[in-house]
Amino acid sequence: MNNALVNPDLEGGTFFWQGGDTGVLLLHGITATTAEIRPLAKRLLEEGFTVSGILLPGHGTTPQELSRTHRNEWIKAVEDAYLELKKKCSSVIVGGESAGAVLALHLASEHTEIKGLLLYAPAMRFASSFLRTLFLLIASPIVFSVKKKASSDRDEMPWQGYKVYPLRTLVQLLKLQWETKQRLCRIYQPILIMQANLDKTVDLKSGDIILNGVQSAVRESHWMEKSGHVVILDKQLDEVESTTLEFIRKIIR
């Protein structure tokens, strides 16, 4: 049992579930594990899709290990998983929760053949103030981590991940956000964005940042009024799943 993790007994490792000829790569958020993407992944498998989910480097172990991980390691792991899925499927859709959505955008900017993007609570910008973010950046060389705010909702979900944010990881994520924002103009794929009205982790304008930056002709934006940040595990999961399936079926027709 890992004392560094919330809900350590959940399955949170890498998985590859063989289904049909269309593949979906799902990416979890920073500090989380694949536990947060598994309910959606299982529904997609039931509907006939091949589904892949990877445990990003530095995750599922200790915050110390995550703190030593560079964003390029996440980017490479995502690229490798995508290329592996592409060998088995004629078309691939990529989705992600929070920072996983940012990694999905980064991947799509490099691979125009990706069929579509599923972006859940995309973390293009944090909800914290500029001054707080600046303070955390300045503190990152000397302060290891900050505790996450207590969340009874998250504790009740099948969510698994670290109880703290390593500040060096926060710096890597800020750099990933900036780099990905510069790449949005390269993205032409159909995009589904699902945001949560009760999200206190990411700036609710994150969806607008994406939509104003991409070249995509097909774009959908949906708001889950009763959900918080982990929108793919929250109260409106059924609606998230049905909207996702409807969007996928549209773009693979």
pLDDT tens per residue across span 182-235: 999 999 999 999 999 999 999 999 999 999 999 999 999 999 999 999 999 999
Q: Provide the whole-model pTM.
A: 0.96
Domain ranges for the chain:
5-252
pLDDT-based confidence at residue 152 (cuts at 50, 70, 90)? very low
Other C-beta atoms lying within 10 Å of the C-beta of residue 131:
8
CATH number of the domain located at residue range(s) 5-252 in this protein: 3.40.50.1820
pLDDT of residue 147: 87
How many other CB atoms are found less than 10 A from the CB of residue 212? 9
Residue 19 and residue 48 in contact, taking contact as beta carbons nearer than 8 Å: yes
Give dist(CA 148, CA 177) in Å, integer: 20
Taking residue 113's Cβ as centre, other Cβ atoms within 10 Å add up to: 9
Pick the closest to residue 36 from 16, 51, 62, 55 (CA basis): 55
State the Cα torsion 76-77-82-88 to the nearest 10°.
130
**Tally of CB atoms within 10 A around 155:** 10
The predicted structure's pLDDT at residue 150: 58
